[in-house]
Structure 1
């Protein structure tokens, strides 16, 4: 007996909208990563992209527990010698709140071509509005 594999062109992809207001960053990111990978579906296959699209709104209102706002560091390299820049989580939430959620989810996905493809299905917005109303996203309670 052979194991049935889902056909790539027949995979049904849903759209979900998540409100990040007062949600803990890590717990939110794990649920989003699970939806992007498709692990919530019975047709989940590790080497295929069976996941859904996820829209995150109110990214600037996400919560970090403990002293992570002051102690958690994000690093970026400019490409030049001595060009390592570091930011605290508080600075990142102020400057680029979308990037905080994107990096948390990115680090929970596979580190290969499949993970990069799955990350493209994540849409993050700092405010309460998003331009994907035509896709009729369903609210996802986390």
Structure 2
């Protein structure tokens, strides 16, 4: 398949900050600029990796994986914190490839599982995650502090 040949998935670098910002703006519906993306990626260095999907050199998706030590075990905790593919590139296997790369990275860092959060009403995302082997695990809760 041509898409498979032209799709490249690699860790994002500071030079990718404008592309990451554009994808995050589309995903979250709130403006994110390149400076903010670069600053955030620098702050995450060593704990979270942004994987960028490029097709023909253009950024078409991203997946961010956090791998950190935690108190309950001797192995690290791995969590996908972001997954987004631009609408015109969906249903072509890109999200699956991004998740596979994230899982491989988590495994290489010693994590025995990958966790993620998605919205209760985001049935499309839930169906996708179930289709690649994820299942309900816990109820996530939050309290806003600001």
- How high is the TM-score relative to the length of structure 2? 0.30
**Higher helix share goes to which structure?**
2
Higher relative contact order (CA 8 A, sep 6+): 1
- How high is the TM-score relative to the length of structure 1? 0.31
> Is the radius of gyration larger for structure 1 or structure 2?
1
**Higher strand share goes to which structure?**
2
